[in-house]
Structures are given as C-alpha cells and as structure tokens.
Amino acid sequence: MAKETIMLCCAAGMSTSLLVKKMQDAAAAVGKDAEIFAVSASEADQQLETKNIDCVLLGPQVRYMESDFKKKLAGRKNGADIPLAIIDMRSYGMMDGKTVLAQADKLING
C-alpha cells in the first residue's frame, strides 16, 4: 500500500492521465511511495468512498467545482478535511509532473 494517495480530477479523467504518468515518474525519481491516479469529476465520489485519499487536485478546467469538492472532502480524513487545490494552469499545460507533485506534497505535509 502506498504511503500517500493523490487523486487528480478533471472533466473526463483523460487529460490528467498524462500528468499522472509524469507525476509517477517524478515520484519514482526521488523514491517517493505514492499512489497517483486520475478520475473524472463524476467518478470522484466512488473513489472517496473506497480509498484513503490524502489530497485532491482539480484540473484547471474544473476549477468551478472547487466549492462542491470542499463540501465533499469536509471531515473525511479522521475528522479533518482532505486537502484540496487547483492545479496551476501553467504546470498543467506544461504537464510538469515534478511541480504538481510538489504542490500535492505541500498540501499533504504542510
């Protein structure tokens, strides 16, 4: 079981797939044990019910869903909220897995 679980959400789960691969490569390069996966926004609820998620990153194209996700993530992690952020548009566009992984790490570890 991975030490950290990072879920990325976008409109269909497709556009973040390449970014997930880049993030997995960046994690492997530094020996980080993380499960990183992408889902469509409509699949997020199912994943939240079945996995112990440490943070959620929203693709820039679904930033309008931020308030809905904040409600979904409230109190889900041992009574605390699961951390949530919007992926920086530039990092997303460049498919910069290292930078987005660092964003997730900051959410998880402060």
What is the tens place of the pLDDT at every residue in 51-110?
999 999 999 999 999 999 999 999 988 888 999 999 999 999 999 999 999 999 999 998
Catalytic residue numbers, as ranges: 10
Half-sphere exposure of 68 (CA within 13 A, CB side): 10
Going from N- to C-terminal start, the domains of the chain cover: 4-109
Q: What is the pTM of this model?
A: 0.93
pLDDT of residue 48: 94
Query: Over 60: is that where the pLDDT of 1 sits?
Result: no
Tokens of 49: 């019910």
Which among 39, 57, 59, 58 has a CA at the least distance from the CA of 49?
A: 39
**CATH label, 4-109, candidates 3.20.20.70, 1.10.3720.10, 3.10.450.40, 3.40.50.2300:** 3.40.50.2300
Query: Over 80: is that where the pLDDT of 41 sits?
Result: yes
